[in-house]
Structure 1
Amino acid sequence: MKSLLKNAREKKGLKTREVAQLLKIDQALISKFESGTRKPTKDQITKLAQLLEIDYETLMTAWLKEKILYEIGDEEFALKALLLAEQEIQNKKKEINSIIISSFQTILDEIETLKNKIQSFNHFELRRISKTLELEFIFKSIYLNGNSLTMEETKSVINEGMTIAGKSMQNHLEAINFQETVLYIKDLNQKKISLNEKDLLSIHNLIFKGIESENSGKYKKDSLVIREMNSFFNWFDSHKNNLHPIILASEVYLKILEINPFENGNLQMANLILNWILLQNNYAYAAIEGDKNSVNEYLSILEESQIKNDKSIFINYILRIEKENLNRAVQLTA
């Protein structure tokens, strides 16, 4: 932990006295934190993570590790005690996840009913529904990004290869790239490939093909981002089998926006990865309607969720969007 603090401070070009002044902590304490002779409190860890822009999870993990080692030292039964503690923590996590799911249970049950109804449709109906929802998803997604193509124009561009008068080349490329990205994700799902770093970067490269080459398919040139994304994939691998897919997808969305790993396209990436997870689990696209009121509502809910640090606000919203899109799928057979 001491090296994390010192490296982050030096990277920001701050002196220990400046950190002390900003956090209203004695300068001698900052030096002791960095030398390892004193340990920060949990509140101080939070403040240090924010000021020095260190991933909170990474810093807290290092802090807890040192706290545990200090407490147990070289006790004879330390490893056995740690294994028992791990089991208890895992059990508590399961209890918490169960509580979270129970609070969403009514709408989850409604979603499962709609999902099962759609899966009972014949192959022809499913193909027609899929093509319609896919087109709508592409339009709604590029609209969210500020693209000015209408629904009909988007359809003409990606299905007929038309050029729309008065629309920029970037507008056209965004629609085409999004369609290619959706096809790429569908192929990954057919091969049962789960979220991974290689394909995440490939998706980012696809959405910026012909638009931006310098930063496409690459994280920001920031070692902190690399660490945070490594932590993100570790988190995903440990939660992908014990969280409901829609809850998992929603949390992934929030984490990508929080890490902000790319120079451009973080919102598009969060949107695409959320829907990659949903499609892999046979749900419909969760796409925000392509109109100003819906986009404003989305931005307001996202902001509220972030300010209150309450992911359930955003999860509830995604559940509602998913239910609306599943209802839309059912209506397409009427």
Structure 2
Amino acid sequence: MKELLKQARENKHLKTREVAQLLGIDQALISKFESGNRKPTREQVTKLASILEIDYETLMVAWLKEKILYEIGDDTNLGIKAMKVAESEMRYEVAVKRHNLSASLTAILNEIDSLKKILDQKRAFDSFRIAQALELEYTFESNRIEGNTLTLRETDLVINEGLTVSGKSMREHLEAINHQEAIGYIKQLMERGFSFNERELLSIHNLILRGIIPEDAGRYRRVQVMIKGSSHMPPQPNLVAKEMDGYFLWYESQKSKLHPVVLAAEMHERLVTIHPFIDGNGRTSRLVMNLILLQNGYVIANIKGDYDNRMNYYNALESAQTKSNKEDFLLFIAQIEKESLERYLSIIGT
């Protein structure tokens, strides 16, 4: 583990002092981690994985291995027997946790996985023009959810023709342009294999609000907000940074455990519940969700902005935020992804 930490830090051209500042600990501890004289806590391992952009699973396995070997010491034979018993019990626990998903959600996820297998065999039929058209629809629908009145055709004219639509506000024009650029940005992240972290989130949000509220673009809110039409009260502004630390820690610990569609839906719901920005939370949350889906080989889950779909979306979110019941929201997102996969396959011809 010590080699992993030192090599990753040097690859990022960071000093031990800089890593210590980001981690909020004494510089001497970083040197001890790298020399093997001190072991980081589980929480510190999670933060180090994010800061140094080390694969969380790789680093956690190395950390757990060293803890196990330390505890076993010279009792090698007993240690091997104990690990065999532990392996059996852990496999049972994993099986139990998987069955915590409802029958309805499990059924949709199985359908999604079947559709993805078909899609994986049809990748040769992918087309830039098809992707461009679907991304345009996504920009149109995501903005429509938030009250943008540009039609699909007008959105196309603004983005692809550079035209100004009479009777539409400058903000609506910028929302279309900015969202399309944000889609391009998450596709770049996906293609480069970048790990999702705070820097990337703030960059996505910066694109969404660029030229609209420039002083708040890419920055956490500094005032209390209320969500129109919702009884959910987001955390106080002085708690936002802490909540976001927890958000990224949760992601690092769960990204290799959860089904990608469940992970994407959870990251969407958790972000919009914290509501870390003064504006643009919905669009940013949906972009984060779709970044995770694209990284895992799925297609963009495009939530429609018409009244019925918008109300179903808001009601499912409200249930997750105020009743601690995420089932409706997970089912809603899974159904949207299933329909998006079916449509994509029908377009490319299967």
Q: 1:285 to 1:239 in 2, by over 3 A?
A: same
Question: Partner residue of 1:256?
Answer: 271
Question: Partner residue of 1:197?
Answer: 198
- 1:332 counterpart SS class: helix
Question: Partner residue of 1:51?
Answer: none
1:237 aligned to 2:238? no
Q: CA deviation at 1:122?
A: 5.2
Q: 1:96 to 1:171 in 2, by over 3 A?
A: farther
- 2:221 counterpart SS class: coil
- 1:214 counterpart SS class: helix
TM-score where L is the length of structure 1 = 0.70
TM-score where L is the length of structure 2 = 0.67
- Counterparts of 1:173-252 in structure 2, within 5 Å, are 173-221=174-222, 222-252=237-267
Distance in 2 (alpha carbons) for counterparts of 1:198 and 1:122 = 31
Question: Partner residue of 2:143?
Answer: 142
Distance in 2 (alpha carbons) for counterparts of 1:265 and 1:90 = 41
- 1:289 counterpart SS class: coil
Q: Equivalent pairs: percent with the same residue?
A: 42
Question: Partner residue of 1:276?
Answer: 291
Distance in 2 (alpha carbons) for counterparts of 1:192 and 1:111 = 23
Q: 1:131 to 1:97 in 2, by over 3 A?
A: farther
- 2:98 counterpart SS class: helix
Q: 1:116 to 1:217 in 2, by over 3 A?
A: same
Distance in 2 (alpha carbons) for counterparts of 1:266 and 1:194 = 20
Question: Partner residue of 2:335?
Answer: 320
Distance in 1 (alpha carbons) for counterparts of 2:180 and 2:283 = 13
Question: Partner residue of 1:97?
Answer: 97
Question: Partner residue of 1:108?
Answer: 109
Question: Partner residue of 2:7?
Answer: none
Distance in 2 (alpha carbons) for counterparts of 1:173 and 1:285 = 22
The C-alpha deviation readout for 1:231-280, integer Å capped at 9, x for no partner, is 11111101111111110111111111221111111111211111110111
1:118–1:126 contact (8 Å) kept in structure 2: no
Distance in 2 (alpha carbons) for counterparts of 1:96 and 1:235 = 20
Distance in 2 (alpha carbons) for counterparts of 1:246 and 1:283 = 9
Question: Partner residue of 1:286?
Answer: 301
Q: CA deviation at 1:192?
A: 0.7
Question: Partner residue of 2:50?
Answer: none
After superposing the two structures, state which structure 1 stretch, 244-253 or 296-305, moved more.
296-305
2:125–2:348 contact (8 Å) kept in structure 1: no
Q: CA deviation at 1:120?
A: 2.4
Distance in 2 (alpha carbons) for counterparts of 1:198 and 1:207 = 14
Aligned partner of 1:275: which letter?
N
Aligned partner of 1:112: which letter?
D
2:115–2:341 contact (8 Å) kept in structure 1: yes
- Counterparts of 1:110-129 in structure 2, within 5 Å, are 110-121=111-122, 123-129=124-130
Question: Which of 260, 265, 275 lines up with 2:280 in the alignment?
Answer: 265
1:97–1:243 contact (8 Å) kept in structure 2: no
Distance in 2 (alpha carbons) for counterparts of 1:91 and 1:250 = 25
Q: CA deviation at 1:167?
A: 0.8
Q: 1:96 to 1:302 in 2, by over 3 A?
A: farther
Q: CA deviation at 1:287?
A: 1.5
Q: CA deviation at 1:96?
A: 5.0
Question: Partner residue of 1:68?
Answer: none
Question: Partner residue of 1:168?
Answer: 169
Question: What is the alpha-carbon root mean square deviation over aligned residues?
Answer: 2.5
Q: 1:160 to 1:106 in 2, by over 3 A?
A: same
Aligned partner of 1:315: which letter?
L
Q: 1:102 to 1:311 in 2, by over 3 A?
A: closer
List 4+ stretches of structure 1 deviating above 6 A: 87-93
Distance in 1 (alpha carbons) for counterparts of 2:95 and 2:348 = 40
Structure 2: gaps (5+ residues): 1-42, 44-69, 72-81, 223-236
Q: CA deviation at 1:99?
A: 1.4
Aligned partner of 2:209: which letter?
F
Structure 1: gaps (5+ residues): 1-57, 59-78
Distance in 1 (alpha carbons) for counterparts of 2:220 and 2:90 = 32
- 2:312 counterpart SS class: helix
Distance in 1 (alpha carbons) for counterparts of 2:126 and 2:288 = 26
